[in-house]
Structure 1
Amino acid sequence: MTQHASTRMARWVGSCSGVFAWVGVLCLSLAAVAQTAAQTTGPARTLPLSQLQSGLHFSGPDVQALQADEFANPAQLWLGQGAARWRQAAANGKSCSGCHGDVASMKGVATRYPAIDPASGRLFNLEDRINHCTTRHQQAAVLPPESDALLGLTLLVAQASKGLPLRVDVGGAAQPHWQAGAALFNRRQGQLNLSCAQCHDQHFGQRLYTDPLSQGQPNGYPVYRLEWQKTGSLERRLRSCYAGIRAETPPWGATEMRQLALYLMWRGEGLPVEVPAVRK
């Protein structure tokens, strides 16, 4: 090989080495992007957003009429209690209205819970947030789960977002909770060996005994259920499902219940807040 040809060959090899190195860097970058995307996308949607339906859609005409009647809707009793407590001052003289003004200032709040509490790093549902304000700012006792006082305030705050779409944050510190909630939703549990997904993703619209299965959407809570003869929280409904499949029920306030609620709220993203709601 001549000296001139050797020089050209050396230049060509050098050029190729540079190209191969650039391609290698590009491939590594793309792999990193793909890995990051896989980590942040999380659970896939089983129900397309265009097919989401509120539980009211699966209710009978009598329940639908009761919810639509502003005067006959029994949840109005809890709304009234919530409105009174919103204005009521605690022993230290502070009230909800004293800090927040009219409850209309809560517009949009209910659409984004459960959410991470920045101070503690814990996953709070709306009831947790209300109790946090009650104990920290009013220096009052914790409102017990399912108490009329807590349900009334929660329903009142939720009504301020009536008609707004659910839109929770499932990124950042909330992501592991969201993924855990998805795992709970799809996990078979209890003596009946059933998962939430089997009823509410795979068989909604079909009848279980006399009633059609809904999609299990959370946009109407706190909700008045005729079987309870009172308003109840989403956590109470989830606990009822655990009992229905004969599974071990987590204690009140368990993180698992908030994780499952977070996943349900993301799953129902776009559905409007629908309170005061009535279900059978």
Structure 2
Amino acid sequence: MTSSQNVTLPTIAFLGAGSMARAILAGLLKPGVTVTGGIRVTNRTAVKAAELADTEGVTAYATEVDKDANLKAIDGAQIVIIAVKPYMVADLLAEIGSSLAPGTLILSVAAGVTIDTFESLLPETVHVIRTMPNTPAVVGMAVTGISAGTRSSDADLELTRALFATVGDVLVVPESKLDALSTISGSGPAYVFYLIEQLTETAISKGFTPEEAAVMVNGTFLGASALLAVSDKSPSELRRQVTSPAGTTERAVWELEKGGLKELFDAATDAALARAKELAAS
């Protein structure tokens, strides 16, 4: 896991403060992370803005009560994180584009919206990097893919890496791989939670209470992940250690293989990738 100790970042503005933005924000508020000039956040509603009102180092604005909220947030910000829904990106960039200072670094977390789209809607003096974090950012265990734009510099990339290292691991990949990355690490937490749901239901069907099932299943996933994290063995090697020849686990794994689990993951991630392309084209 990447360390975020003693990181200093310039003034940051979040435009949009949904679950992903707030997960990233949580990392920036950790001890050892300094944001000179503070963090500005815009929300659509005053209720959501009020949730951040008492957060030290954060200034929150609501667009429903202040039509200039986004412009106030970006004033003096060297990093602007675009965290609105993909369909809202074009209108937002049209609103703020002419007010962005030369050299401003735009970081996008909007799924499916390409660097080319961003760069075509922003002044040539503005730099763009596209990112794809995942929700474990809220506990500092994210995996974030980042892709450089045609105008961004190595320094921009390192700044972006440092920012997202506050919430976990960072992979630098070409944009051509970013949507595929999103189908693995971006959507991956949902796959894990879904597997936990299903195994929990299986435990309940075998006579365990929901509470007992949760202890078994949640604890097993957590323990197995922790073991993988500290082990020098691959997942396959660790699985084989549990799988005695002709034993019960081997029989269970055979049923999973017979059921085509790999093919299901292929189909699921292919569907997610197709949807990402649809979003990019819309």
TM-score by length of 1: 0.24
TM-score, scaled to structure 2: 0.24
| Higher RCO structure (Cα 8 Å, ≥6 apart) | 1
Greater Rg, structure 1 or structure 2?
Answer: 1
